[in-house]
Chains A and B, each alone.
Chain A
Amino acid sequence: MKYAYFPGCVTPLRENSYELSARRVLEKLGVELVELEGANCCGFFLDAVDHLSSIVLAARNLCLAEDIGCHIITLCPTCSGHFTRVKAELSENPKLMNDVNRVLSSVNRRFIGSSEVKHIARVLVEDVGVEAIKKTVTKPLTRLRVAPHYGCHIMKPSTEIRFDSPENPRLLDSLIEATGVKCVNYMEKRMCCGAPVMGVDLKLSIEVVREKLRSIKKEKADAIVTICPFCHTQFDLNQSRIEEEYGETYEIPVLHYTQLLGLAQGYEPDDLGLYENRVMVDDLLSLI
């Protein structure tokens, strides 16, 4: 199994332990990664300013994968979500497709639409399979209880993304359970983490994630598990900020799913960048 790895922005610049742990677990699962030379931002962050710009940026990335004849894997659900929506829009709108290709011809590229795009969780569920993941688990983490955070773009808008069920998501739970870990249910499981408004209104953004943290703490989860680098930053980096600002204590470690799976596959914490996480993981590691 071979995929072109699309790095995006947040992972390589802020969440390197996600990339490190993802590379490790994918290797163990026999998924080979090809680098996408010269890739840019997926384009999503320009969508609010100019829709067409966000489309041409996405299309250029997709062209790079088409050139090497590979499907794309992303670690960020916002990237895969944006690509998927852009692909759908282009395939439904031949005039837009023409316009975009006219722009791309200025850099000698042409978008066809032959590369599929999948987030890593989707590759794990659909291509690798939960049973195959279980076979790589050498150290089941049966003493842990964790709170899964799905994030929004992994499945919404479902009309285009068509993965799992936004009103009753199950697939991350099943990936977590494959490592022997129990998932806890919590009140705000389906809610956004608030990260996207961090730059516009930090206080509001933090209030959103604080509500999630409160609801996770109530269930006494040992950790939070994320599959989005931006959600991860919000839970992990801003947790101490909330503790300070509101005089509350959470101290809930936040793990990328790939770090959790890596531990269950027998990797050492260092191999997975676990000591780079901002909320200390020592107590959690003593449970495994």
Chain B
Amino acid sequence: MPLAAETRRRVIRLEEINDAFSREVIKAGGEKLYVCFQCGTCTASCPIFKFDESYNPRLIIRSAVLGLMDRILNNDMLWLCAACYSCTERCPRGVRPAEVIRAIRNIAAEKGYIHEFFKTQADTIINYGRIWEEEEFVNEMREDMGLPPVPSVNREEVKKILEYTKVKKILASGEGED
């Protein structure tokens, strides 16, 4: 179900509420989650909402406050935030919605709900150290322009430091899920 329909469903069943999820969001970077007073300034400032009203940061924040984990985690809408920080800039309560949404995405990814595009991009970063693999035609073009070749990434170091974070496990757990 699209996020909006899901989050707008007015009746909240008791068994949907998961306090542990709210606390998890707070711990993952949404420290000010509970001070949101639902003014909607974030949504009114959101360039994505402007073109697709099913993406609504205020509703995402509300759902996180109430612990409605299942309504937001397994949902492609979560990955539409452009991280433009307009909401964070204007939120009168200092909730920093962009960062809260980032925290929710981290939790979603860890629980195996990572969006395919982000998964592919993360894979490329782990393997090549950049968001795209370096292709030969780029170097030819750079040479024509008198630029040095694309500076090479120290891929071994990148791989090594990422061994110590959760990212590889997250990508592996997303495998096989849709």
Listed in ascending order, the chain A residues whose CB lies under 8 Å from chain B are: 7, 9-10, 12-14, 16-17, 19-20, 23, 35-41, 45-53, 56-57, 60, 102-104, 106-107, 152-153, 156-158, 166-167, 191-192, 194-197, 199-201, 204, 207-208, 211, 273, 276
Contact = CB atoms under 8 A, between A and B. Distances in A.
> Which interface class (under 10, 10 to 19, 20 to 34, 35 or more) fits B?
35 or more
A103 B164 contact: yes
A229 B112 CA distance: 32
Interface of B: 28-29, 47-48, 50-52, 76, 79-80, 82-86, 88-89, 96, 98, 102-103, 105-106, 109-110, 114-115, 117-119, 121-122, 125, 129-132, 134-135, 138, 141-142, 145-148, 150-154, 157-158, 160-167, 170-171
6 contacts: A50-B110, A50-B170, A56-B164, A103-B161, A195-B82, A208-B47
B90 to A, nearest CB: 8
B164 A19 contact: no
A181 to B, nearest CB: 24
A35 B151 CA distance: 8
Contact of A40 (B48, B130, B171): B130
A53 B165 contact: yes
B151 A36 contact: yes
Given A49-B118, A53-B165, A200-B80, A157 B158 contact: no
B115 A38 contact: no
Contact of A39 (B89, B153, B166): B153
Contacts, number: 180
Given A35-B151, A40-B158, A51 B167 contact: no
B153 A156 contact: no
Nearest to A195: B82
A164 to B, nearest CB: 12
Given A47-B83, A191-B47, A200-B115, 18 more contacts: A12-B151, A14-B138, A16-B145, A19-B147, A20-B146, A38-B151, A38-B157, A48-B83, A49-B105, A52-B165, A53-B165, A56-B164, A56-B165, A157-B89, A166-B86, A200-B117, A208-B48, A208-B82
A57 B131 CA distance: 13
A206 to B, nearest CB: 10
A105 B138 CA distance: 34
A51 B102 contact: yes
Q: Shortest 4 CB-CB distances between A and B: which pairs?
A: A38-B154, A156-B85, A192-B84, A40-B129
Contact of A192 (B47, B115, B130, B152): B47
A204 B80 contact: yes
The interface centre, meaning the residue of A10, A102, A156 with most chain B CB atoms within 10 A of its CB, is: A156
A53 B167 contact: yes
A64 to B, nearest CB: 9
A47 B165 contact: no
Nearest to A102: B164
